[in-house]
Amino acid sequence: MRRESDVPGAPGSRSSDTTQTFGHDSDLSFVPFGSELTTTEIEAISALPSHAALLLVRSGPTAGARYLLDTDVTTVGRHPEADIFFDDVTVSRRHAEITRVGDTFEIIDQRSLNGTYLNGERADRGVLTNGAEVRIGKFRLNFFSSPADQAQAQAADG
């Protein structure tokens, strides 16, 4: 089946500006992340300063990549100027934002076509907790907060 936008030269035939949708719900299955962190990843998480966090790409075209979250707003998308740039058609140009207030991080979907998933559930917005899984297009990531912030939160609760 060809859409008009698939025909070369037709109005709106800019395929680089479209987002491909997932074909099956099985593509969105949630399989909890285990504890198979590498020594390097564990060291990177341990070295996080207070009010910072780390996103680890667990699967997808850039598996193994790490992204430091140390600003109040981090943009995620297929737009080349996104703070976290995922060059894949399953990711919208302006897919999501990660905001930080104090030591709390929240992910906010930016009306993306394929949605943003937090721990296997589609979420317009949600608080990121230590070890949480985020899915953006084909990319599966895990969020890790600063151990200093975790210790502080445990002390406040205790």
Tens digits of per-residue pLDDT, 7-56?
445 444 444 555 555 543 444 444 445 558 889 999 999 999 999 999 99
Burial of 110 (0-12, 13-18, 19+ CB in 10 A): middle
Cα distances from 130 to residues 13, 19, 95, in angstroms, run: 42, 30, 22
Question: Do 24 and 33 form a contact (C-beta atoms < 8 A)?
Answer: no
112-156 pLDDT, tens digit per residue, is: 999 999 999 999 999 999 999 999 999 999 999 999 887 776 777
Predicted local confidence at residue 150, as pLDDT = 79
Predicted local confidence at residue 152, as pLDDT = 73
Question: Do 51 and 66 form a contact (C-beta atoms < 8 A)?
Answer: no
DSSP string, 59-120: ESTTTT-EEEE-SSEEEEESSTTSSEE--STTS-TT-EEEEEETTEEEEEE-S-SS-EEETT
**The model's pTM:** 0.77
77-100 pLDDT, tens digit per residue, is: 999 999 999 999 999 999 999 999
Nearest to 54 by CA among 136, 125, 147: 147
* Residues listed for the chain: 158
Task: Return phi, psi of residue 57, to 5°.
Answer: -80, 115
Confidence of residue 5 (pLDDT cuts 50, 70, 90): very low
Nearest to 62 by CA among 72, 76, 73, 49: 76
Count how many Cα atoms sit within 13 Å of the Cα of residue 53 in the half-sphere of its side chain: 30
